[in-house]
Amino acid sequence: MRAPDTILPLDLDRVGFAVGERSLLDGISLRLEAGLRTVILGPNGAGKSLLLRLCHGLLEPSIGRVKWVGAEEGEKVRRRQAMVFQRPVLLRRSALANIRYVLALRGVPWHKRGAQAMEALERFGLGSLALRPARVLSGGEQQRLALARAWASRPDILFLDEPTSSLDPAAALSVEMAVREFHASGTKIVMTTHDLGQARRLADEVVFLFQGRLVEHAPAAEFFKEPRSAQARAFLAGELVY
């Protein structure tokens, strides 16, 4: 179970992000609570990846504030978060060694790393591939390895940026199962996807962006059944391209 001293919730207060004169995100106020799986939706260029990067601390807002309610900014806040990208960045060594490496960075004693790394691999169905070079694994296996590696450090929150967009449907489903597994162990999930079927399967709540603005933040069942905004209705009908 997740320790009660989570860094969540995450509060965004009138967050904006601009590059030069161009405003890419504007006036985003949002609270992301522990527990729920949040899926960020919106057409191409709406600002979904930027929003994830701002939440994770990879980007600084131009204006407004990103605040972890459960902790002050610092090492603890960084350690309790993880992010998985569209294409995983894996080291040129075995699956097991990729996880051992992260555990070493986290200060896990040498003699405990092997068992903890195996536990993570087994949890994500990769036990039999432990000694295989990570870079020869299939796309789906690599993405599950990225999830196993993130899970090994037991984050409070996991950000995923289109984690299945380069995978075939079967591999995408295996990654979805891994995301469920991650969530079941107590981690908050925040992800972007272009796959509306996946969003319906995984989301507890939806954050819908359009042209850099937050248009809806609603329980998933409500959003998919009766979206409040014209933009979300058009998006769900496949009529809103950008």
Contact set with ligand ATP (CB under 6 A):
19, 24, 42, 44-50
- Judged by beta carbon, residue 50 or residue 95, the one nearer ligand ATP is 50
Q: How far is the CB of 44 from ligand ATP (least distance, A)?
A: 3
- Judged by beta carbon, residue 42 or residue 163, the one nearer ligand ATP is 42
CB 189 within 8 A of CB 177: no
- Judged by beta carbon, residue 46 or residue 147, the one nearer ligand ATP is 46
Q: How far is the CB of 19 from ligand ATP (least distance, A)?
A: 4
Q: How far is the CB of 176 from ligand ATP (least distance, A)?
A: 19
Question: How far is 132 from 81, CA to CA, in rounded Å?
Answer: 27
| Greatest C-alpha distance within the chain | 57
Measured from the Cβ of residue 221, the count of other Cβ atoms closer than 10 Å reads 13
- Judged by beta carbon, residue 26 or residue 176, the one nearer ligand ATP is 26
- Judged by beta carbon, residue 19 or residue 170, the one nearer ligand ATP is 19
Question: How far is 96 from 166, CA to CA, in rounded Å?
Answer: 23
Q: How far is the CB of 155 from ligand ATP (least distance, A)?
A: 22
Distances (CA, A) of 37 to 30, 48, 64, 208, 234: 14, 15, 24, 14, 23
Q: How far is the CB of 154 from ligand ATP (least distance, A)?
A: 27
